[in-house]
């Protein structure tokens, strides 16, 4: 399948209208229609925005095999795989996750310290 066919297949599977995708990537509906027909190539930036809208990677859009990616469940992954997935997030989301982890670790250290010192009394 061509990238144009992939884009159309994914858009339809996601129940999106052409105008919705066009607006998200910053082109008019006519230009977007040409992308799906293979008459207009798309820029890397347009492809990245489209992949973001589809909740996919650019590679998944380009090499689409007709199946949409399944939801990622973190508890099914090793710690290394979880970190790799977190690194794919945008910077703001990564910082949010790391702040949550820091807060949880601080709380755990406080609880451990408190229990240790209460037990010593």
Domain ranges of the chain: 3-62, 74-119
Mean pLDDT of the region 83-112: 88
d(CA 121, CA 69): 55
- 72 pLDDT more than 60: no
Q: Would residue 66 be called left, alpha or beta, if left means φ above 0 and alpha means ψ between -120 and 50 degrees?
A: left
At the fourth CATH level, the homologous superfamily of domain 3-62 is: lambda repressor-like DNA-binding domains (1.10.260.40)
pTM of the model: 0.55
- 26 Rama class: left (phi>0) / alpha (psi -120 to 50) / beta: left
What residues contact residue 42 under an 8 Å CB cut-off, 6+ apart? 3, 25, 35, 50
């Amino acid at each position: 399948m061509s990238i144009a066919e992939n884009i159309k297949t994914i858009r339809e599977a996601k129940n999106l209208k052409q105008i919705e995708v066009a607006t998200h990537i910053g082109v008019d509906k006519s230009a977007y229609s040409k992308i799906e027909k293979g008459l207009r190539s798309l820029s890397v930036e347009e492809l990245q925005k489209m992949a973001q809208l589809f909740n996919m990677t650019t590679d998944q859009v380009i090499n689409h095999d007709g199946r949409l990616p399944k939801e990622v469940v973190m508890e099914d992954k090793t710690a290394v795989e979880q970190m790799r997935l977190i690194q794919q997030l945008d910077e703001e989301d990564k910082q949010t996750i790391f702040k949550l982890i820091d807060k949880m670790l601080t709380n755990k250290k406080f609880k451990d310290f408190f229990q240790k010192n209460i037990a010593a009394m």
